[in-house]
Amino acid sequence: MQTIYKVISKTAAVAVLGVLFLSCEGHLEDLYDNPNAVTEIDDAALFTKAVRSLYQGTTDNGSSHFAGMYAHYYVAGSTWRAPDQYGDGHDQDYNSIMNEGYSGTIRHIEEVLELTSKPGTQNNVRYALANIIAVLGYAKITDGYGDVPYTEGGKGKSQDILLPKYDPQESIYKDLIMRLTNSIGTLKTADPAMAYPDSDPIYNNDLEKWVRFANSVRLRLAMRLRYVDAGLSRSTVSQCLSEPLMETPEHDAYMIETEGTGNAWFNRRTGFPSIKMSAFLINQMQVTNDPRLTVFVGQDSNGQFSGIVNGLTDQAFGNSNFANLSDMGLALSSPESKLYIMNAAETWLLRAEAALAYDEDPVQANILYRKGIEVSFNQWEVDATEITNFMGSTIANLSGINDEEQIGVQMWLALIPNFFEGWSHIRRTGYPVIPVRTSDDLSTGATNGIMPTRFMYSSFELGANSTNVQEAISRQGANKIDTKVWWDKN
C-alpha cells in the first residue's frame, strides 16, 4: 500500500497540465503502483525484503530525525537539529516519511499477502506471518500521522482506487488487533515446513517464537488503547495473557544489518550529521545509577558522560560544547549492532502496567516490573553484580506512590534503540514527563514548547487527495504537529 493520488480530473485542462504531469509521472508511478500486481515473484524473497525494510524503518527519517529527539534520547547536529526545536516546516520530510512507509514494508508485504491468499499459491501459514509484519508496518504509519489510507491503500491499478480514503485510526487499530489474533490462531498449530524455512530473518522459522512475538505486539496495541477504549483494551489484554508472550532476550525480535556499512546508527555516530546523547537521558540514568548508562551512552572527551539539552535555540546551541559531548554507545551504534522491533523487556513492563491498571494488583505489578528491568539488563549483557546492586535499589521496586511513572520511565529506557516506539510510549502514558519549554535558551517552536504529538500531512497529499485528506482533518483535528492522534489522551 502506498499513498496514491490522481490530481487531474476528467474535466481538467489536461493540455495545460500535461507537461507538469509528465515531469512527475515517474514519481507518481512509484507512489501509485499497486503492490498486489506482482504475480510471478517468489513470495519468500518478498517476505524477507519486507522484514528487512521494517527493521531499517527503525532508523529512518521519522525515527532518527524526529522521534529520537522528540522523545529526548539525543540531539542531532547541523540542519538535522531543526525538529528538536519543535518547528513544523518539514513538508518534504513529512511526505517522504509516509511515502517510504508505504513503498518499503507495506508494498512488499501486500504483495506477499496477495500471493499467499490467491488460488494456486495459497498458504495460510505464510499469510499469517505476513499479516504480523503488515500490522507492524501499518501501526507505525498510523501512530505517526493518525488517520491514514488503510482499507483502500495500494489498490491503484487493479481496483482503480487512485484516491484512497483515510481510515479512522480507531478502525485501523481494531483491525490490526484482529489480524494478529487470526495469525496467532493459525500459527499455534502450523507446520513449520509451510512457513519460511530459508527466508525468515527474525526467528529462523521458529513458529513458537512467532506466536510469542505476535501476541506481544497485540499486547502493545491493546495497552495503547488504555485511555481511549478501556473495554477493548482490557479484553484484549486478557486474551494476550492467556497465550505465550515474549519472556527472555531469546524471544527478542531483532536483526543485524549486514549490507553496506551495517547499522545506520554507526554512520550517524561517526559521520554527518553527528548525534550527541540527551542530557535528559543521561541525568535520568545517573540519578538512579543505572548500569545501562555505559551501554547507551559513550564517554565524552573528558572520560565522563555529558549530554546536550534538547531544544536549544540557535544561539544557545552555538555556545554549547556539542562536539565534545557524549556519543551514542557502541552497543547501539556499531556496524553489527542489533536493530530491534520489540523485546521481551517491553512485554514484561506492559504486563506490569496492566496488572496495576486493570487487576489493581500492586504486588503482581511489582513482580512484573522487576522482571522487565532484569530482562532489559540481560538483553544488554549487564554485569551480574551490577544487576544485583540495581535490583536492590528503591527505583527497582514500586512503592505505591508513583508506580505509573516508574513503569513508564523504565519502559522508555527498555525501548532503546527503537526510538519511534519511545516517542509513542511518551505520547500515550505521559512518562517520562517531558518538561514544557519556558527558558529563553529553549525554542518553543510551533507547539508553545510542548512535545510534538504527530507528523503533518504533507502539501503533496493535501493537493493530490484533497477531499479525503480534508475529511481526515475534519475528523481528527487541525493538521498540526500538536494535534493528538486518536489513542493519545494524555
Cell numbers that stand for 298 in this block: 559513550
Report the pLDDT value the prediction gives residue 261, as an integer from 0 to 100.
77
- 208, 118: one domain: yes
Assess if residue 441 is contained within a domain: no
Q: Give the pLDDT confidence score for residue 258 in this predicted structure.
A: 84
**pLDDT on residue 32:** 39
Give the lowest-confidence range in 59-63, 212-216, 256-260, 486-490: 256-260
Residue 79 maps to a domain: yes
Can you give the pLDDT at residue 120?
87
Q: Tell me: do 219 and 142 sit in the same domain.
A: yes
Q: Which of 333, 360, 376 is the last residue of a domain?
A: 333
pLDDT band, residue 152 (cuts 50/70/90): confident
Q: Residues 176, 288: one domain? A: no
Q: Which tens digits make up the pLDDT trace of 43-68?
A: 999 999 999 999 999 999 999 999 99
> Looking at the domain assignment, is residue 177 inside a domain?
yes
- Mean pLDDT computed over 250-277: 90
Of 272 and 464, which is predicted with more confidence?
Answer: 464
Task: Tell me which of 301 and 225 has the higher pLDDT.
Answer: 225
Cell numbers found for residue 424: 509513542
Answer whether residue 171 is part of any domain.
Answer: yes
Nearest C-alpha neighbor of 311 from the set 446, 149, 125? 446
- pLDDT of 109-142, one tens digit each? 999 999 999 998 899 999 999 999 999 999 999 9
Q: Rounded distance, CA 382 to CA 368, Å?
A: 19
Per-residue pLDDT tens digits for 159-171: 577 788 999 999 9
Residues 221 and 281 in one domain: no
* Domain stop point among 333, 354, 370: 333
- pLDDT over 80 (residue 450): yes
Q: Which residue has the higher pLDDT, 258 or 292?
A: 292
Tell me the average pLDDT of the chain.
Answer: 90
Strands 275-277 and 338-342: unpaired
The DSSP code sequence of 333-397 is: HSTTPEEEEE-HHHHHHHHHHHHHHTS--HHHHHHHHHHHHHHHHHHTT--HHHHHHHHTSGGGS
**pLDDT at res. 260:** 77
Nearest Cα to Cα of residue 123 among 42, 50, 52:
42
19, pLDDT greater than 60: no
Domain that holds residue 311: 274-333
3-class SS at 123?
A: coil
Rounded Cα distance, 407 and 133, in Å: 27
Taking a C-beta distance cutoff of 8 angstroms, is the pair 326, 300 a contact? yes
Asked, for residue 44, whether it belongs to a domain, the answer is yes
Q: CATH no. for residue 154?
A: 1.25.40.390
Q: What is the DSSP string of 139-155?
A: HHHHHHHSSEE-SSTT-
Higher pLDDT, 389 or 4: 389
| N-term to C-term CA, the chain | 31
Q: Structural domain tally of the chain?
A: 2
**Least-confidence region, from 13-22, 98-107, 196-205, 275-284:** 13-22
Tell me the residue type at 216.
Answer: S
On the question of pLDDT at 25 being above 50, the answer is no
One domain, residues 309 and 173: no
How far apart CA 82 and CA 450 sit, in angstroms, is 15
Please tell me whether residues 244 and 279 are part of one structural domain: no
In tens, the pLDDT along 314-371 reads: 999 999 999 999 999 999 999 999 999 999 999 999 999 999 999 999 999 999 999 9
Do 326 and 466 sit in the same domain of this protein?
Answer: no
- Which of 333, 357, 375 is the last residue in one of the domains? 333
The residue written with cell numbers 534503540 in the block is 417
Per-residue pLDDT at 40: 57
pLDDT tens for each residue of 373-387: 999 999 999 999 999
- 137, 105 in Cβ contact below 8 A? yes
Q: What is the pLDDT of residues 233-245, one digit of tens each?
A: 999 999 999 999 9
Residue 259: exposed, middle, or buried by beta-carbon count in 10 A (0-12, 13-18, 19+)? exposed
Q: Tell me the pLDDT band of 2, cut-offs 50, 70 and 90.
A: very low
Specify whether 228 is located in the same domain as 283.
no
Instruction: Using the predicted structure, report yes or no on whether residue 14 has a pLDDT greater than 90.
Output: no
